[in-house]
Structure formats: structure tokens, C-alpha cells
Structure 1
Amino acid sequence: MRHSLPLAPQFYVTAPQPCPYLPGRMERKLFTALQGDYAEKLNDSLSRQGFRRSQNVLYRPSCSECNACLSARIDVARFAPSKSQRRSLRRNDHLSRRASSPWATEDQFALFRRYLDARHADGGMADMDIFEFAAMIEETPIRSRVVEYTDRSSGNLAAVCLTDVLEDGVSMVYSFYDPDLPKQGLGTWMILDHVEIAREAGLPYVYLGYWVPGSPKMGYKAQFSGLELYRRGRWERMRDPSAYAADMHPLSTDPIAEQVANISLPDSRS
């Protein structure tokens, strides 16, 4: 009897570089190319194992002495907005949503540049030009959408999210918004709206990327109910955020070879 063989992507490790979340630490990523006929199946499978997509690459933190970064997702069935989140929904009910194919526009790039200059002027994307921005939006081998949020009265573009459609949810790959509207809480509101998008589509999860205990930049993710974290090879419901520590120890992470050996790959059947 013939059996279908599993996909066998090649995994690589980036060179260490300063961590953008925790000062004094070095980050390293395990990554593989996302391409070929089984790109969607590979993306679905690895997303459930803590990986994230960036253009045609899937990656997961694999630091040598730190396991602080935890993949986070919202269980839509268990999510209930807090009082402050309900206020955010009311504050932004003047915005309309439009989802389209992943195509970059000049209006998106102008908003993206304003957002970076105001919020992440010293970050890794600070020098991105319009061609690199277009690549970030358009280079995707899977089902992706650009979700735009526009003011109904003025027609101004207020926020944008590059969103992947997975087998079991939606993944917020990258979002940005008008930095001149801080009181509207657009970052939080886009997550709330993606919970609604997932609910409308009958999908169980909203993937948020990584939550990093001890990093103020990532603290907002812990404010959502129904949050799950990927730890030690499985998803678990989030406990009290203060119960998590950014471990830093030579034995806190498995060797790369063991990490790769423990990755579950989809088979090649269509």
C-alpha cells in the first residue's frame, strides 16, 4: 500500500541580533520557505504550532537562552469584551470595513509611513520604502486579505490590517493606523473587529502573533479574554499574566535539531 509522504521543508536559523522586546537579550528565529503547491496546508499546520508568516517565510522565535515569546490567539467562543473594549467599539462605530485582495496602494503606504514615524521610528521597518511595503502586502502564496477601515463621513483611511485566512481562524499579520487618533484605540478595535470577522466566517480563532511577558509593547494582548498561548508544544488557556516569566536559562529552550524533529508536518494529499 502506498502512503503519502509528509512535506519536507528545510528549516534554517537566523543569526542572533538584539531583541526588539526585551533589552539586553538576543533574538534568533527558526524559519522555512512558504512556497509550492502545499503552501496553504503548511501555513495552516505551522500556524497551529506557533509560527508566523512574513511574506514567503514562516518563522518562530528560537532564542538560545530565552523562551519569552509565546504565540497567542483568541478563542472566539470564549471571548467577551471588557467595559473598555465595549467603549472602543462604540467610539469607532463610524468606521466602515472593506476587505480586498492583497494589493498595496499609495494611501495605505502614506498611512503606514505616518504610523511608523510616530510609533516605531527606530524599529526594524523604519526605512521601508514603497516597494518593500508592496512586497510585504502582495507577496503571499496563501489566502490573504487587506482589511481597510475608512471614516464614513470623511472617506479618510483610518486603519489597515494584512490578514491571512487560515483553516481554523484569521491571522493578523500586520496592522497599522492613524497615529493622530490615539483616543480611538484603533489597535485594540481592529482586534475586536477581527473577532467579529472570525465569528461571521464560523472560524474559531484569531491569531495575534506573539505575547512577551515583561514587554510593555506586547502588554495589550493580555487584555483580551479567551486568550490562549502556545507553550511546550500545546495551546493552553492563559492564566494570570503575572504568572508568566521571561525565562532566560541555557536549558529553557530545546536544541534546534530537537525543535525541528518535533514539528508536525502535513502530508502531501490534496
Structure 2
Amino acid sequence: MRHTLPIAPQFYVTAPQPCPYLDGRMERKLFTALQGENADRLNNSLSQQGFRRSQNVLYRPSCAECSACLSARIDVRRMTLSRSQRKILRRNEHLTRKTTSPWATEEQFTLFRRYLDERHADGGMADMDVFEFAAMIEETPIRSRVIEYTDELRELQAVSLTDVLDDGLSMVYSFYTPDRPRAGLGTFMILDHVRLAQELDLPYVYLGYWVPGSQKMGYKANFSGLEIYLGGEWQPMNDPEAYSHETHPLSTDPIAEQVANIQLPDRHPTGQRG
């Protein structure tokens, strides 16, 4: 099914498939291609409206009877560290951050496979080979970086594929060694991205989707300063228990209405009009 606005891009909706977050649910995504000279502006604009990037595609959940998936970001100006988060920073203070261009390496893939086999052996990426991994890292038409964390022996411990937006850092995908379960490396990478955003004077760190009722996504609610995209706007999340994961046939607007409400960037920014 295709839905078209008066100007590019074109939006499509996927066929329903089993939801990876909530048992017994079916998921559906609204998506568009990310390409051309306007890719950066489109990515910035749609990221601010709850979309996420996967290679050359921007997508947002659009399930028929469920609206549990909520795009989440940290307002770094409001974020304060909890006692446990301070401990995690201390446990990983020996790690060194290195930022590189989005280029896949054998060392990254080896760590990626170990991470999947230990943590997500039955997930949708479990069968990803080295070529698909390279595509995930390298196929990006926008400003993306690979952020690596190494220990004192220069051994790779954690990796994040991160997009640099006008208003923040978007953590597209992260993975880390499964050999240090008490180190809290997943949390550490988010905390370090908050520090990096502060260094770059960027106000937000985008975390993808928070899903109430999903154990896989529950950790995102542990960060103070968290905002969620709900009802067409970003709002502070104060009480995670106040958000429902119950289904309702009227919880999602029709696809055509969703597309009509998407705000697209000016195709001819100031100073570049034809």
C-alpha cells in the first residue's frame, strides 16, 4: 500500500508480523526511503516526530490496535545520575572511547556475534552474516559514526552505531561483550552518549522505542530526563506506570491521516532555492 504527499517522500506500510516486544501482538510499520540530497534534513525532521533509522529507511510503528511503542529520548539538561548509574560509570572508567567513520571491521563483527549468541539468540538479527552486518553499519546516507569502547589491552568491549542529528545523538544500534554482565555496559554507553552530547552542546540522546509492558525495553525508563513522543509532541515521562500497553481498536489513526500529519522539511533550505 502506498501513500503519497504532495511532495516527496513517499510513505509505505508493512504487512503485519509478530511483535518482538509484546507477546500475542502484531506489529506494522510506516516507513519511507532515506536517500538523495535532502536525506539529512528528512532524517532530522522525522526523528523529531518519532521515526527511527535502519540503513536507508526511516520507520515508525503504526500498529492497527496498539500504540504501546513510544519513541524515547533523554533531555541531557534534565538528566541526573542515580546511585547505580554512578557505580556503572566507575566500573567502566577504564574504557576508552574512540569515534570513527561508519566502517565495519572483523573485530566488530566478532563481538556482535558473541553478543547476539548470548543475549538475543532467538531474535530477528540472530542469523545476520558479516555482509548484512557491514550493510547495517555502512549503508547510511547521513552523518553517522561508529563509537567503540576499548579496555587497557585495547580489546573491543562495546560498540554503538550513532547518528549525529541537529538536536542530538541517535543511538541506532549498540552491542557489547557478554563476558562482563555486572558492568552494565548497555547503560554505560547511554550515559557516555549523554556526556558526549553535553560536550557537543546537543540537547538530546535518542534511544529508540520504550514499550510499557515489555521487559526488553524497561531499562529505558531508568533514565531521568526521559521524554516520550505521544500525541504528536514530546513530553516528559514522570511515572512509567501511567502508560498503558493495552490494545484498543481506536488507538492508532488511519494511515492516510498519519501521513497527512507528518511535517516535512523544506526541500529548498534558505540560500539554496532554485
TM-score > 0.5, shorter chain as reference: yes
Paired-residue identity, %: 76
The structural deviation recorded for 1:248 is: 0.7
SS in structure 2 at match of 1:216: coil
d(CA) in 2 for partners of 1:9, 1:155: 43
* Contact 1:43 1:58 (C-alpha < 8 Å) held by counterparts: yes
Partner of 1:102, secondary structure, is: coil
Deviations 1:177-228 (A, max 9, x none): 0011101000000000000010000000000000000000001000000000
Residues 18-37 of structure 1 aligned to structure 2 (within 5 Å): 18-37=18-37
Structure 1: tracts of 5 or more residues without a match: none
User: Residues of 2 paired with 1:168 and 1:243: CA distance?
Assistant: 28
Q: Distance in 1 between matches of 2:243 and 2:28?
A: 21
The answer on whether the counterparts of 1:109 and 1:130 sit within 8 Å (CA) in structure 2 is: yes
In the alignment, is residue 212 of structure 1 matched against residue 249 of structure 2? no
Aligned to 2:237: 238
Partner of 1:261: 260
Write out aligned runs for 1:143-158 (5 A): 143-152=143-152, 154-158=153-157
State the partner residue of 1:90: 90
Distance between the aligned counterparts of 1:264 and 1:243, measured in 2?
A: 28
CA distance in 1, matches of 2:7, 2:224: 35
| Other-structure match for 1:139 | 139
Aligned partner of 2:188: which letter? W
Task: Give the 3-state SS of the residue equivalent to 2:191 in structure 1.
Answer: helix
CA distance in 2 between partners of 1:112 and 1:215 (Å): 23
Task: Count residues in correspondence.
Answer: 265
Distance 1:202 1:6 in 2: 35
Deviations along 1:36-73, one digit per CA (max 9) or x if unpaired, are 00000000000000000000000000000000000000
Tell me, yes or no, if structure 1 residue 178 matches structure 2 residue 177. yes
> Offset at 1:247?
3.2
- Cα deviation digits, residues 144-198 of structure 1 (max 9, x gap): 000000002x211000000000000000000000011101000000000000010
Structure 2 residue identity aligned to 1:68? A
Question: What's the Cα RMSD here?
Answer: 1.0
**Superposition deviation, residue 8 in structure 1:** 1.8
What is the correspondence of 1:1-270 to structure 2 with a 5 Å cutoff? 7-152=7-152, 154-270=153-269
- Using the size of structure 1 for normalisation, the TM-score is 0.97
Offset from partner CA, 1:119-159 (integer Å, 9 cap, x none): 0000000000000000000000000000000002x211000
In structure 2, what residue type is equivalent to 1:76?
Answer: V
- TM-score in terms of structure 2 length: 0.95
- 1:67-108 CA distances to partner (integer Å, 9 max, x unpaired)? 000000000000011000000000000000000000000000
Measure the CA separation in 1 of the matches of 2:181 and 2:6: 47
- Secondary structure of the residue aligned to 1:77 is coil
Which contiguous aligned blocks of 4+ residues in structure 1 show a shift greater than 6 angstroms? none
Counterpart-to-counterpart distance in 2, 1:260 and 1:186 = 37
